Amino acid sequence: MSASSGGIPAGPDKSAACRLAVIGGTGVYDPSMLEGVREELVDTPYGPVSVRIGRLATGGARLPTDGEGRDRSIGGGRGPAADGGGSGAARGEEVAFLSRHGTGHAVPPHRVNHRANVWALKSLGVERVLATAAVGSLSRDMKPGDFVLLDQFLDFTRGRASTFYEGAKPLNPGAPRGVVHVDVTAPYCPDLRRVLADTAAELGVTCHPAGTYVCTEGPRFETAAEIRMYAQLGGHVVGMTGVPEVVLARELSLCYAAVAMVTNFAAGIADRPLTHSEVVEVMAANAANLRALFGRVLAALALAGGEQSCRCGEPVEVHGAS
């Protein structure tokens, strides 16, 4: 798979495209909702990326309905449910899986190659991305084991490569030219968030419908004072890797949603020092919920095809490219 020269990747033609992707964060290293998984090394202007691609193995996947049989999944909730009780049509849909931290958590948060990751997915033809994020909670209401559907972020990262557009003369051969000031008023796809919320409700998992994600530079955890400040600023959960991934997804016109899993109360709220092992243990204990949620949502998205009512797919405005 080769990178595009000069512009954003066009992707393969529709029949060969892999339209859905999962980016697994801390504790989510395997594409357990997929079967027949193969590995592909995708070249990008930012380096090669290993992506695993498999077919949806889900059973019992259904489109969320509004109780009167109307489809509430994608495209504004019009028309009859496409699949009231089975998953036949969704089964077999190819889905790309990318482990943000590499195998066995080999890549620390501040060194994740977000540009290569997002570019690789786009060049496979991906249109919609579901990401996971392990987070600490800034609020007693969001407890370890809870899901939070992120709707906003506060960016405290420092110096991360957060755009594909490096001006008229980009350093990376094959990178797009020009300058983009991307709109991130609502950074996470509202369509995907709605399907996730409806599906989480159907599954009976505790899922907060919205939350502001504070992204720190890491890899250290925060001080108690930092956490107090983030809470005063309106943050609900804290993590180290969600930004600039979400911004880059928007630059490439992808629908992107992130499901945060609370693994701990944040520093100063927790009554003991934080450890990475604790984070991984809580993720592992809740892996079945995450698998069920993603399996169903991916099946719903596969059934919905390319229909969308969000504006994520609109191309960005590029300035000064020549």
In the complex, the residues that contact ligand HPA under the rule CB under 6 A are: 134-136, 216, 221-222, 238-240, 263-264, 266, 274, 279
Minimum distance, C-beta of residue 278 to ligand HPA, in the bound complex (Å): 8
Minimum distance, C-beta of residue 166 to ligand HPA, in the bound complex (Å): 28
Phi, psi of 274 (to 5 degrees): -85, 145
Closest among 200, 311, 179 to 256, alpha carbons compared: 311
- Tokens standing for residue 125: 């033809």
Minimum distance, C-beta of residue 238 to ligand HPA, in the bound complex (Å): 4
Nearer to ligand HPA, 238 or 292 (CB): 238
Minimum distance, C-beta of residue 24 to ligand HPA, in the bound complex (Å): 14
Nearer to ligand HPA, 43 or 278 (CB): 278
Q: How many Cα atoms sit within 13 Å of 33 on the Cβ side?
A: 33
Closest among 240, 242, 232 to 268, alpha carbons compared: 232
Nearer to ligand HPA, 55 or 110 (CB): 110
Residue at shortest CB range from ligand HPA? 136
Minimum distance, C-beta of residue 257 to ligand HPA, in the bound complex (Å): 18
Nearer to ligand HPA, 41 or 224 (CB): 224
Nearer to ligand HPA, 94 or 146 (CB): 146
Do residues 14 and 127 lie in contact, with contact meaning Cβ atoms separated by under 8 Å? no
- Tokens standing for residue 131: 């990401």
Query: Is the Cα dihedral 147, 153, 154, 160 positive or negative?
Result: positive
Query: 256: which strand partners?
Result: 129
